[in-house]
Amino acid sequence: KAGVTQTPRYLIKTRGQQVTLSCSPISGHRSVSWYQQTPGQGLQFLFEYFSETQRNKGNFPGRFSGRQFSNSRSEMNVSTLELGDSALYLCASSLRQQNTEAFFGQGTRLTVV
């Protein structure tokens, strides 16, 4: 069974640009969540999608957005990049039930210069 796939693995962008990250969940998993990991703030929840609808959102500015497609694949977009957006962005997929664990992809390392 294939795991969670995130593309690309690494990205370098310039301040002010925008970026789109992609996540393909485990087959059969319809819930996809995104997290940002930085040395200073640790792991922080960005948002969760289920059945193409955003179900929950973390405390991030509107520059961070996402969507989910009918095949459960998800993308997140960051517009007007800032230096502080440099981070490892992790996608997690899971079954819908709350008591199930999330499975994480290897992440996309975004560097903003």
Q: Which stretch binds another protein (CB under 8 A): 14-22, 54-62, 64-72, 73-81?
A: 54-62
Instruction: Check residue 103 for interaction with another protein (CB under 8 A).
Output: yes
Of positions 66, 105, 110, 112, contacts another protein by CB under 8 A: 105
Distances in Å between the Cα of 13 and the Cα atoms of 9, 27, 66, 71, 110 are 13, 31, 18, 28, 7
Helix, strand, coil abundance in the chain, percent, nearest 5: 5, 55, 45
Instruction: Check residue 12 for interaction with another protein (CB under 8 A).
Output: no
Which residues sit opposite 21 in a β-bridge?
Answer: 76
Give the DSSP letter of residue 27: T
* Cβ–Cβ < 8 Å for 28, 74: no
Instruction: Check residue 101 for interaction with another protein (CB under 8 A).
Output: yes
Instruction: Check residue 93 for interaction with another protein (CB under 8 A).
Output: no
Q: Which stretch binds another protein (CB under 8 A): 13-21, 67-75, 77-85, 90-98?
A: 90-98
Contacts with another protein by CB under 8 A lie at 4, 6, 31, 33, 35, 42-43, 45, 48, 50, 55-56, 58, 90, 92, 94, 98-99, 101-107, 109
